[in-house]
Structure formats: structure tokens, C-alpha cells
Amino acid sequence: MITEDRLRHPEKAHRPATPVLRKPSWIRVSRAESAAYGETRAVLKAEALSTVCEEAGCPNRGECWSKRHATMMIMGEVCTRGCSFCNVATGRPDALDAFEPGRVAQAVAKLGLRHVVITSVDRDDLDDGGAAHFAQVIRAVRHRCPETTVEVLVPDFLHKGAAWETVVDAAPDVFNHNLECVPRLYPAVRPGARYYQSLRLLDEAKRRNPAIFTKSGLMVGLGETLEELRQVMDDMRIAGVDFLTVGQYLQPTPRHHAIDRFVPPEDFARIEAMARSKGFLAVSATPMTRSSFHADDGFAALQAARRAQPANTEPANV
Ligand code: SF4
């Protein structure tokens, strides 16, 4: 859902407008026609939960919700950062809701999910960046739905010391943090973030608990080069990242970061081949890939790839 009336960071509100380009034929917005879509919406509404599917205006919502897959966005609908690609509202968030972990777990049970992805807005206003709340949500889902595997897509915990350890110690099955773009573009795309902070978070999470799969995602079409993508892949592999997702950036409104180009499917095939040559356990690189798209299948692929590895295998050389 793209609206112009939501809270905007001054950097976004005062950004010169750039027309949103017409999408090529290979970018498809999936339609919401099934009964299951309506049921998913009803469960989320009954439990008063937000989703990144709605807040980010994800084009895959029709398909995902028709399979009852929704990525829940905890800790409110207002983010403390002002990333230029993101459609989530920016401002001063509300206090945390102590009942939210229970409602997330209830929704997971009602939807019958075998794998759930939980993400959040950035909460720079909290001393721990929301790490303890994330851990409570993981534990609540584990308690209510012990068969469900849990993937968290976390913020960077910049300036929050070792708060991220609380999330890792709650033992999610997948610890995901998106690098989003190549480091040269950080000042324009993620002005509040630091590339090496994000990379180090992934590295340290893997070192703290090597049994947890780590995952990261990139958007392309922002102005990056293939060489820059190659370097980021190398950085991720050195940090032990298991799963890479790469998808096309779509500009939400004229006030967001301008799109540089629509990357054609054949270029995505090259990016995927490059990533696979680096030794990631799993790779998804298509125009419609989002870090939570088909996340259950991605998790199954990770498990299969790990099982197929010889014992004591070191991460592949890059
Ligand atoms: S790809 Fe992720 S964010 Fe988009 S609709 Fe599917 S679950 Fe939601």
C-alpha cells in the first residue's frame, strides 16, 4: 500500500520528486483473489498485527497471503530510520506492546505456519534496539508452535553494544539481516546505517551460534555495478553468510530513491551463478525475490544443503 500521507523523514519529505518508472513485463504484482488471502488478512486483523507485506507495499502479497504466508512486523509501524528505499513510516514510535509476542504466536498457530518470518522497524529509541522484545517473540512462538521454524529479519543494532546477542541466544532457526545495497550507496540509500556494522553483525551472529543459519539480502537496480556486487558477496562469505537473496528495487513513491534500472532476468541469472560460485548454501536471485519470499522453501534448501556437506567443512574459499 503506497500512501503519501504517512510520516516521512525530512530527508525523504524534502527529496526532489523523481517520477516512478513504468514497470517492465517481468515485474508482476500478484493478485489477491483467493479465499486464503482473505483468511490471512482476517487473522492478522484479529491479532492486531502489522506486516511488512503491507507497510512496504510488497508486490508479492497476493501470492504469499494466498499461501497464508505473512511476514509480521513487530514493535510498531513507525521506524526511527529514514532509508531512502523504504516505504515504512518514519518518526517517534509508540511504547512496546508487552502482549505482542503472544499475539504473534497466536497468529502463527491460526495460520498453521511451518516456517514464520518476523521482522521489525528500527528502534533506535530503545536501549537494546528491541532485542529483548525480539527474543520474547521467538520464545512465544516456540512455546505455542514447537514445530514451527523461526526466521528473524533484524535491524542492525547500531550503537546498541552486544544487545544483538539476546536475539541470537533465543535461538531462531535463521538470523537474517539485509545489507540491502553495496557500500558506496549507503550514504544515499541507508544514511543511518554503516556497512561494516551490518557485516559485522552477521559475522558475529554466526560465530556466536554456528548452528543458526545466517541470511542477507541485496536490492539491485539502485546504481551498483557487477564488480561491487561481487565484492559484497565475498564480504558476506567471509562473514559466513549461508543464504543470499537478491531482488529488484522498486521505487515506492516519487520521494524515494530513484531507480537506476530494471535488471533483466538474464542478468539475474548471471548474479545467481556468481553467488553460487562463491559457496553460499542457498541463493535466490530473481526480479521478484524479497528476503521473505518463499522463505519456507529457502529454509528447506538450507537444511538440505547443510546435510549434503561433508562433516567439518570449512566455509568455501572466495
Ligand atoms: S515477499 Fe515477504 S514481504 Fe512480500 S508479501 Fe511475501 S512475505 Fe510479505
The whole-number average pLDDT for the span 30-58 is: 93
Q: How far is the CA of 252 from the centre of ligand 1 (A)?
A: 15
Pocket residue to mutate for ligand 1, from 27, 44, 49, 53, most atoms within 8 A of Cβ:
53
What atom in ligand 1 is closest to the CA of residue 291?
Answer: 2
Indicate the DSSP class of residue 183: G
Q: What is the pLDDT of residue 3?
A: 44
Alpha-carbon distance of 286 to 264, in angstroms, equals 9
**Residue bearing the CA closest to ligand 1, atom 3:** 53
Q: What is the pLDDT of residue 318?
A: 40
> Percent of the chain at pLDDT above 90?
88
> Percent of the chain at pLDDT above 70?
93
The mean pLDDT of the chain is 93
Least Cα distance to 58 among 262, 292, 216 occurs for 292
Alpha-carbon distance of 270 to 187, in angstroms, equals 27
Band of residue 43 on the pLDDT scale cut at 50, 70, 90: very high
Q: What is the pLDDT of residue 118?
A: 98
Pocket residue to mutate for ligand 1, from 30, 41, 71, most atoms within 8 A of Cβ:
71
Least Cα distance to 235 among 282, 207, 267, 198 occurs for 198
Alpha-carbon distance of 107 to 220, in angstroms, equals 33
Handedness of CA 78, 82, 88, 89 (dihedral sign): positive
Most confident of 15-19, 251-255, 267-271: 267-271
* Least confident piece of the model among 80-84, 174-178, 181-185, 210-214: 80-84
Q: How far is the CA of 99 from the centre of ligand 1 (A)?
A: 24
Q: How far is the CA of 177 from the centre of ligand 1 (A)?
A: 15
Angle ∠(152,154,156) on CA atoms, nearest 5: 155
The model's pLDDT over 97-137, given as tens digits with 9 standing for 90+, comes to 999 999 999 999 999 999 999 999 999 999 999 999 999 99
Residue 203 has pLDDT above 80, yes or no: yes
**Residue bearing the CA closest to ligand 1, atom 2:** 292
Q: What is the pLDDT of residue 157?
A: 98
Q: Is the distance from CB of 186 to CB of 208 less than 8 angstroms?
A: no
Residue 155 has pLDDT above 50, yes or no: yes
Indicate the DSSP class of residue 152: E
Q: How far is the CA of 145 from the centre of ligand 1 (A)?
A: 21
Phi, psi for residue 77 in degrees, rounded to 5: -110, 5
The model's pLDDT over 61-93, given as tens digits with 9 standing for 90+, comes to 999 999 999 999 999 999 999 999 999 999 999
Q: Is the distance from CB of 282 to CB of 296 less than 8 angstroms?
A: no
Helix (H) or strand (E) holding 186: helix 186-189
What atom in ligand 1 is closest to the CA of residue 64?
Answer: 6
Q: What is the pLDDT of residue 310?
A: 81
Which residues lie with the beta carbon below 6 Å from any ligand 1 atom? Answer: 52-53, 58, 60-61, 64, 69-71, 290, 292-293
What atom in ligand 1 is closest to the CA of residue 292?
Answer: 2
Q: How far is the CA of 69 from the centre of ligand 1 (A)?
A: 8
Quickly count helices (H) and strands (E) in the chain.
Answer: 12, 10
Residue 7 has pLDDT above 70, yes or no: no
